[in-house]
Amino acid sequence: MSAPLIVQKFGGSSVANADRIRRVARRIARERANGSDLCVVVSAMGDTTDELLALAGAITDDPDPRELDMLLATGEHQSATLVSMALHALGVPAISLTGAQAGISTDGRYGKARIANVDPSRVRAEIAAGKVVIVAGFQGISQSVLEAPGKADASGSAAAPAAVVHAAETTTLGRGGSDTTAVALAARLNADRCQIFTDVRGIYTADPRVVPDARQLDVIGYEEMLELAHQGAQVMQTRAVELGWVNGVVIEVLSSFEDAPGTLIKEDPLVEQRNKVRGLAHDRNVAKVTLVEVPDRPGVARSVFEPLAEAGINVDMIVQNVGHRGATDLSFTVPRVELAKAKRILDPIARELGFRELTTDSSVAKVSIVGAGIQNAPGYAARMFGALADAGVNIEMITTSEIRITCMIAEDALETAVRALHAAFELERPETVDATLDATASLRAAAFGADGTTAVS
| Residues facing residue 75 across a β-bridge | none
- Shortest Å distance, C-beta 122 to a second copy: 5
> What DSSP string runs through 186-234?
HHHTT-SEEEEEESSSS-BSS-TTT-TT--B-SEE-HHHHHHHHHTT--
Going by C-alpha positions, the residue among 262, 220, 231 that lies closest to residue 421 is 231
| Cα 165 from Cα 31, distance rounded (Å) | 43
Torsion (CA) 236, 240, 246, 249 in degrees, nearest 10 = -80
| Cα 437 from Cα 208, distance rounded (Å) | 24
Q: Which C-beta is closer to a second copy: that of 1 or that of 433?
A: 1
Asked whether position 339 contacts a second copy by CB under 8 A, the answer is no
Asked whether position 67 contacts a second copy by CB under 8 A, the answer is yes
Q: Which C-beta is closer to a second copy: that of 151 or that of 297?
A: 151
Burial of residue 27 (CB within 10 Å: 0-12, 13-18, 19+) is: middle
Give the one residue of 86, 280, 291, 342 binding a second copy; rule: CB under 8 A: 86
x-or-dash string of contact with a second copy, 99-118, rule CB under 8 A: --x-----------------
Applying CB under 8 A, the site for a second copy has a residue count of 62
- Residues numbered 117 to 156 that lie near a second copy (CB under 8 A) are 119-122, 124-126, 128-129, 146-149, 151, 154-156
Single out the segment in contact with a second copy by CB under 8 A; choices: 87-95, 232-240, 301-309, 367-375.
Answer: 87-95
Give the one residue of 4, 13, 23, 70 binding a second copy; rule: CB under 8 A: 70
Asked whether position 18 contacts a second copy by CB under 8 A, the answer is yes
Asked whether position 43 contacts a second copy by CB under 8 A, the answer is no
- Shortest Å distance, C-beta 40 to a second copy: 14
Asked whether position 310 contacts a second copy by CB under 8 A, the answer is no
Burial of residue 302 (CB within 10 Å: 0-12, 13-18, 19+) is: exposed
| Cα 89 from Cα 185, distance rounded (Å) | 26
- Strand order across the 5-10 sheet: 94-97, 132-136, 37-42, 5-10, 193-198, 251-255, 263-265, 219-220
Q: Which C-beta is closer to a second copy: that of 112 or that of 122?
A: 122
Q: Which residues bind a second copy (CB under 8 A)?
A: 2, 5, 18, 21-22, 52, 55-56, 58-64, 66-68, 70-71, 73-74, 77-78, 80-82, 84-86, 88-89, 95-96, 98, 101, 119-122, 124-126, 128-129, 146-149, 151, 154-158, 163, 165, 167-168, 188-190
